[in-house]
Amino acid sequence: MEFTLRPATVDDAEPLTRMHVAAWRERYGHLLPEEFFAFREATINTRIERQREALEGSYKPMLAHDAGGALVGIAFAREARRRTGRASCNCR
């Protein structure tokens, strides 16, 4: 499969959000209740708007499109958050 990569723009908010919700359902559908997915799908317009706001800021995932221009993948990475202090475990 040939595809192209490019940074997401504000105009990608809707397809990016719809793919994200569909990917959750595909990957975690056997682990989470239907209500989890139904809520996300029922609030999709709010999620799209939040995605749009994030894309207006510093959130810039990479998108993969197939030869026909359809969105086929999303990738995002950032520097790891610094941890303060030491992790501890009180295991018995």
Q: What is the pLDDT along the chain (92 residues), one digit of tens a residue?
A: 799 999 999 999 999 999 999 999 999 999 999 999 999 999 999 999 999 999 999 899 999 999 999 999 999 887 777 776 666 666 55
- pLDDT at position 85: 65
| 33 located within any domain | yes
pTM of the full structure: 0.77
Look up the domain containing 43 and give its range: 9-60
Rounded distance between C-alpha atoms, residue 91 and residue 27, angstroms: 32
| 39 located within any domain | yes
Beta carbons within 8 Å of 31's beta carbon, 6+ residues apart: none
- pLDDT at position 89: 61
Is-contact 20 82, C-beta < 8 A?
no
Rounded distance between C-alpha atoms, residue 33 and residue 4, angstroms: 35
- pLDDT at position 55: 96
| 91 located within any domain | no
Please state the domain count of the chain: 1
